[in-house]
Amino acid sequence: MNAGICGLGSALPAQVITNEDLMATLDTSDEWIVRRTGIQERRWLSGSETVADLTTTACLQALADAGRSAADVDYVIVSTITADRITPGVAPEVAFRIGAHSAAAYDVAAACAGFIYALDQAAALIESGRAQLVLVCGADAMSRIVDKSDRTTTVIFGDGVGAVLVASGDYQFGLQPFELCSDGSLGDLLYVDNDERLIRMQGQEIYRNAVRCMAEATRTALTRAGMTLDDVDLFVSHQANARIIESTARELGLPDERVAMAISHTANTSSASVPLALAYCEREGLLHAGDRIVLAAFGAGLVWGAGVLTWKEEARVAA
Ligand code: UT7
């Protein structure tokens, strides 16, 4: 048995923050933000809204999308660096709220690359026979940790959640082995420390490394899967900045029509950005069952990676 994605869900906070809204408190402009990042607006949590609320919604959607029951879920894995509390994590609360009462549930922290790290874990659990059905969520509320007086970070980050349901089955292709990497020597380029609890980032250095790392990991993941870029229907990378996505695609030689660009209304939602981009592309008719796609992500650590899969592939024999 191998692993395949069979359901997708997403959720965004109600509060919309436009570039004009940020101009009220920051020395910035709509023109600068759109030209340098491609972002027009972002969503931020407000009132009593929590990461667990959004994650619960996204998970229920993913289950409904796949026509599967929460009672059958073996693991709920939530990638987040902005959990509602230091402990417990988001995952146990979500598992309880959706009715996944027999599931193991835990959070993982691999910053903006966390979703693909968690997805690879889900595949490994399924391939080893330890699980049949796993919910994988990318869930972040970056508005909680941006320094609202820092124009270089406040404008690019948003909040949101995406979730996929990963199922065991006899898939012809399924989820191929991911290429996951790290380089702790560059940890000071992007961090949040315990005292301050605010994002500090050397934007240009992060930008350069993001392009290089995501392009390299993508090539390696494709080689492992026995594929070339010509076989890729859609490249779905971390949505950190439209220029990073464009530069990475250019480096790989991918044309615009095979590159997911979903940043304008959600901004950089850290580990939620890849599944939110999947949801956007599916909604817009850019992603279809059976498409061969590459996921790539990059974040603080540094940590990054890429993986190849067939989107909502039909299992020859379901588990
Ligand atoms: O999610 C994973 C990690 N994060 C990322 O991948 C983000 C990576 N970095 C970036 O996306 C970009 O580096 C930023 C969007 C953060 C910054 O864009 P940039 O094109 O690299 O700008 P820059 O840092 O080179 O700054 C150019 C100018 C500077 O002014 P001076 O020194 O030339 O006068 C900045 O102070 O733009 C200024 N600037 C702004 N101006 C208006 C920086 N932020 C803003 C702003 N509004 N919000």
pLDDT digit string, tens, across residues 161-183: 999 999 999 999 999 999 999 99
Q: Is cis: bond before 302, omega within 30 of 0?
A: yes
Q: Percentages helix, strand, coil for the chain, rounded to the nearest 5? A: 40, 25, 35
- Asked if 36 and 156 sit in the same domain, the reply is yes
CB of 241 within 6 A of ligand 1: the answer is: yes
Looking at the domain assignment, is residue 63 inside a domain? Answer: yes
Ligand 1: residue whose CA is nearest its atom 21: 204
Give the other-Cβ count within 10 Å of 169's Cβ.
Answer: 20
**Same domain assignment for residues 226 and 107:** no
158 & 211 share domain? no
- Angle of helix 51-66 versus helix 90-98 axis, rounded to 10: 50
DSSP 8-state class, residue 50: -
Domain stop point among 144, 169, 194: 169
User: Would strands 75-79 and 133-141 be described as parallel, antiparallel, or unpaired?
Assistant: parallel
Q: Residue 111: what pLDDT? A: 98
Assess whether 268 carries a catalytic annotation: yes
User: 136 to each of 120, 154, 181, 196, how far by Cα in Å?
Assistant: 10, 27, 19, 29
Residues 206 and 303 in one domain: yes
The string of pLDDT tens digits covering residues 191-249 is: 999 999 999 999 999 999 999 999 999 999 999 999 999 999 999 999 999 999 999 99
- What number of CA atoms fall less than 13 Å from residue 202's CA on the CB side? 10
Interaxial angle between packed helices 30-37 and 242-252, expressed in degrees from 0 to 180 and rounded to the nearest 10: 20
Choice among 112, 137, 213, 281 that is catalytic: 112
Residues 122 and 163 in one domain: yes
Place of tokens 């817009």: 284
Q: Is 202 in the pocket of ligand 1 (CB under 6 A)?
A: no
Number of domains within the chain? 2
What kind and span of H or E run contains 53? helix 51-66
Tell me if 21 is assigned to some domain: yes
Residue 286 has pLDDT above 60, yes or no: yes
Q: Is 36 in the pocket of ligand 1 (CB under 6 A)?
A: yes
CB of 191 sitting under 6 A from ligand 1:
no
Helix or strand holding residue 141 (H, E): strand 133-141
Tell me which of 118, 142, 169 is where a domain ends: 169
Question: Is the pTM here over 0.85, yes or no?
Answer: yes
Same domain? For 161 and 278 the reply is no
Q: Which residue range(s) make up the domain with 261?
A: 179-310
Q: What is the CATH number of the domain that holds 273?
A: 3.40.47.10
**What is the distance in A from the centroid of ligand 1 to the CA of 186?**
19
Same domain as 240, residue 163: no
Same structural domain for residues 84 and 185? no
Domain-embedded: residue 318:
no
- Whether residue 277 is contained in a domain is answered as yes
2 is catalytic: no
